[in-house]
């Protein structure tokens, strides 16, 4: 049996019963996230596992706060820059090759002919949720602080580590969509009822329960790897997805590509053998990651929220940030326009406000350009562009007075409190909409 090379992001412990504990414990970090280094080590482990003599694996966290909280979004931003720096014709391949190793590693773990159980005692979100789904059995502590979720859609992305394929195969399509599309988090009995957790135990008993399951199931496999298996709801999948797609478009007006990409992953991947399905998922992810919307939403809704919360806890939001937001909001006047064409354009572009009545979806889905940039250029779009130019000119005057984290916090406040659409990314981080 080959020796497992020393890992840095994970630790391993072997029990007297020859069960291996794979312990996710990133050094110097309060919470585990899937960094490039962690993914590389998981790939090494998955290759080693098939040839090992262990009876099975328990995956658990070395942190008290979380199993794994998802991707390293700082590295994700660097990956976006790397992909977009490549020639246009090479970007799909560059993105696929960069992100697919996690899918391969998780697939290697679940298909290594060893029983694998996940012991979840904190947050299992994003990539952490996908790691748990790749186990054959999931044990969660009965504690509201422990939760499962795939919240990628909330920052403009999709679960690219097999999440759009494993989850609906486990739960059925209808139960999967609130998690995939709305970022629902499940704890306790709700997680069991949905099918994402197999066993609920008191705090402190999750590791022993996972070990017991591993030792009593030496021939474990995933349902989708068994002959004759069919997905739940299979005969109704197309109708369910069509109905959900119509609802998504009515709500988002076609401005947010992630929910539509997730629906495409499920529709195209569910009928396929699993190894083909995860490649389909990654092909769709590789195109989505090149869009401006996820970059803008990560910067505003995730990094901006973190900056906002940190500033607030450190003594309050600086007056300069609040004044800058107020100045841009006043210049924008998104919620109070007597001009009917302008008011309609604000609403159609996704600006929210008490005077902006949500329009009916007109069938136009944003592609490489935002709705307000695309032809035909109507009087309403022209007036909206002029109003946005005025607001961005005001933001320009404040930009140099704010630090980078203050600019992100200001953009978060524009989205949260002023109805600015998250897909555009705010007015302080960019010199024009979504650039």
Cα dihedral 182→186→189→192 (10° resolution): 80
Residue 397, Cα to own-chain centre: how many angstroms?
Answer: 34
68 DSSP β-pair partners: 124
Distance CA 272, CA 50 (A): 24
Q: Which two tokens stand for residue 98?
A: 């960069």
Please give the full DSSP string across 295-359, using - where no structure is assigned.
Answer: HHHIIIIIIIHHHHHHHHHTTS--HHHHHHHHHHHHHH-TT--S-HHHHHHHHHTT---TT-PPP
CA quadruple 206, 209, 211, 213: dihedral sign:
negative
Distance CA 81, CA 292 (A): 11
Only one residue has tokens 């199931």, namely 217
Distance CA 24, CA 31 (A): 10
| Nearest residue to 359 via CA among 244, 245, 250, 242 | 250
Distance CA 129, CA 151 (A): 10
Catalytic residues: 130, 152
Cα dihedral 92→95→100→101 (10° resolution): 140
Q: Which two tokens stand for residue 175?
A: 């139960």
| 176, 184, 223 from 231: Cα distances, Å | 12, 22, 9
DSSP secondary structure code for residue 273 in this structure: -
| 201, 286, 388, 423 from 280: Cα distances, Å | 36, 10, 38, 25
Phi/psi of residue 123, nearest 5 degrees = -80, 130
DSSP secondary structure code for residue 300 in this structure: I
Phi/psi of residue 336, nearest 5 degrees = -140, 80
> In terms of DSSP bridges, do strands 123-125 and 56-61 run parallel, antiparallel, or are they unpaired?
unpaired
| Nearest residue to 5 via CA among 61, 64, 63, 46 | 46
Distance CA 165, CA 239 (A): 18
> In terms of DSSP bridges, do strands 123-125 and 147-149 run parallel, antiparallel, or are they unpaired?
parallel
């Amino acid at each position: 049996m080959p020796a497992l090379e020393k890992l840095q992001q994970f630790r391993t412990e072997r029990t007297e019963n020859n069960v291996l504990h794979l312990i996710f414990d990133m050094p110097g970090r309060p919470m585990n996230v899937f960094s490039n280094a962690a993914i590389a080590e998981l790939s090494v482990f998955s290759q080693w596992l098939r040839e090992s003599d262990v009876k099975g694996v328990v995956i658990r966290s070395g942190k008290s706060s979380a199993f794994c909280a998802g991707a390293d979004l700082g590295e994700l931003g660097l990956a976006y820059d790397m992909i977009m720096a490549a020639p246009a014709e090479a970007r799909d391949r560059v993105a696929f090759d960069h992100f697919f190793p996690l899918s391969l590693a998780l697939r290697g773990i679940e298909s290594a002919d060893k029983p694998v159980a996940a012991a979840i005692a904190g947050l299992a979100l994003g990539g952490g949720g996908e790691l748990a789904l790749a186990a054959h059995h999931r044990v969660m502590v009965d504690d509201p602080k422990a939760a499962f979720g795939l919240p990628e859609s909330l920052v403009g992305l999709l679960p690219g580590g097999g999440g759009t394929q494993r989850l609906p195969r486990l739960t059925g399509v209808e139960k999967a969509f609130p998690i995939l599309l709305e970022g629902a988090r499940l704890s306790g009995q709700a997680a069991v009822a949905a099918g994402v957790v197999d066993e609920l135990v008191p705090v402190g008993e999750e590791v022993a329960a996972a070990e017991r399951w591993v030792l009593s199931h030496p021939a474990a496999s995933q349902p989708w790897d068994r002959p004759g298996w069919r997905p739940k709801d299979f005969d109704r999948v197309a109708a369910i997805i069509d109905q959900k797609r119509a609802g998504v478009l009515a709500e988002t007006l076609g401005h947010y590509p992630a929910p539509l990409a997730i629906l495409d992953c499920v529709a195209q991947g569910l009928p396929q053998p699993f190894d083909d399905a995860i490649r389909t998922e990654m092909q769709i992810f590789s195109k989505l990651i090149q869009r401006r919307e996820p970059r803008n939403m990560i910067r505003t809704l995730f990094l901006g929220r973190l900056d906002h919360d940190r500033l607030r806890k450190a003594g309050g939001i600086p007056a300069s940030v609040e004044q800058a937001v107020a100045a841009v909001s006043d210049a924008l006047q998104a919620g109070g326009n007597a001009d009917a064409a302008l008011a309609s354009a604000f609403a159609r572009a996704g600006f929210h406000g008490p005077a902006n009545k949500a329009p009916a979806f007109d069938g136009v889905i944003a592609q490489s350009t935002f709705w307000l940039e695309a032809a035909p250029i109507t009087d309403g779009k022209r007036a909206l562009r002029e109003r946005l130019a005025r607001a961005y000119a005001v933001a320009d005057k404040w930009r140099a007075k704010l630090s980078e984290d203050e600019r992100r916090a200001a953009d978060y406040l524009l989205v949260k409190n002023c109805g600015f659409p998250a897909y555009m990314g705010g007015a302080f981080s960019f010199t024009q909409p979504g650039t």
